[in-house]
Amino acid sequence: MSNNRRVAVIGLGSMGGAMASTLNRAGWDVTGFDPSEAAREAAAGTGISTTAEIGELAGTSYAVLSLPSAKIVEATVPVLLATPGTIAIIDTTTSEPGTSKSMADLAASSGAAFVDAPVSGGRDGAASGSLSAFVGASKDALTAAGPVLEALTGGQYAHIGGPGSGNVVKLLNNVLAAANLVSVGEALGVAKAYGIDPAVAATSISNASGGSKVSAAMYPTWVLSGTHDSGFSLGLMARDASLAIDVARQMGEEPELLAAAAGQWQHALAALGPSADFTEIARTVAPSITPAGAPKSSTDA
As to burial, measured by CB atoms within 10 angstroms (0-12 exposed, 13-18 middle, 19+ buried), residue 93 is buried
Q: Checking DSSP bridges between strand 113-116 and strand 62-65, what pairing results, if any?
A: unpaired
Q: How far apart are CA 73 and CA 174, in angstroms?
A: 20
What's the pLDDT at 299?
A: 46
What's the pLDDT at 3?
A: 63
What's the pLDDT at 101?
A: 98
Q: How far apart are CA 148 and CA 145, in angstroms?
A: 6
Residue 61: phi and psi, rounded to 5, are: -55, -50
Amino acid found at 246: D
Domain annotation for the chain: domains and CATH numbers: 3-162 (3.40.50.720), 167-300 (1.10.1040.10)
Q: Checking DSSP bridges between strand 119-120 and strand 132-136, what pairing results, if any?
A: antiparallel
Q: How far apart are CA 275 and CA 268, in angstroms?
A: 11
What's the pLDDT at 123?
A: 76
- List, for residues 183-225, the tens digit of each pLDDT value: 999 999 999 999 999 999 999 999 999 999 999 999 999 999 9
Write the DSSP assignment of the chain as a string of letters: --GGGEEEEE--SHHHHHHHHHHHHTT-EEEEE-S-HHHHHHHHTTT-EEES-GGGGTT-SEEEE--S-HHHHHHHHHHHTTSTT--EEEE-S---HHHHHHHHHHHHHTT-EEEE--EESHHHHHHHT--EEEEE--HHHHHHHHHHHHHHHTT-EEEEESTTHHHHHHHHHHHHHHHHHHHHHHHHHHHHHTT--HHHHHHHHHTSTT--HIIIIIIIIIITTS----S-BHHHHHHHHHHHHHHHHHTT---HHHHHHHHHHHHHHHHH-TTSBGGGGHHHH-GGGSTT-S-S-GGG-
What's the pLDDT at 128?
A: 85
Full pLDDT tens readout for the chain, 301 residues: 456 899 999 999 989 999 999 999 999 999 999 999 999 999 999 999 999 999 999 999 999 999 999 999 999 999 999 999 999 999 999 999 999 999 999 999 999 999 999 998 887 888 888 889 999 999 999 999 999 999 999 998 999 999 999 999 999 999 999 999 999 999 999 999 999 999 999 999 999 999 999 999 999 999 999 999 998 899 999 999 999 999 999 999 999 999 999 999 999 999 999 999 999 999 999 999 999 999 986 444 4
Q: How far is CA 147 from CA 16, 67, 143, in A?
A: 17, 21, 8
Q: How far apart are CA 170 and CA 176, in angstroms?
A: 10
Say if pTM beats, i.e. exceeds, 0.85: yes
Task: Say what angle helices 198-206 and 165-193 make with each other, to 10 degrees.
Answer: 130
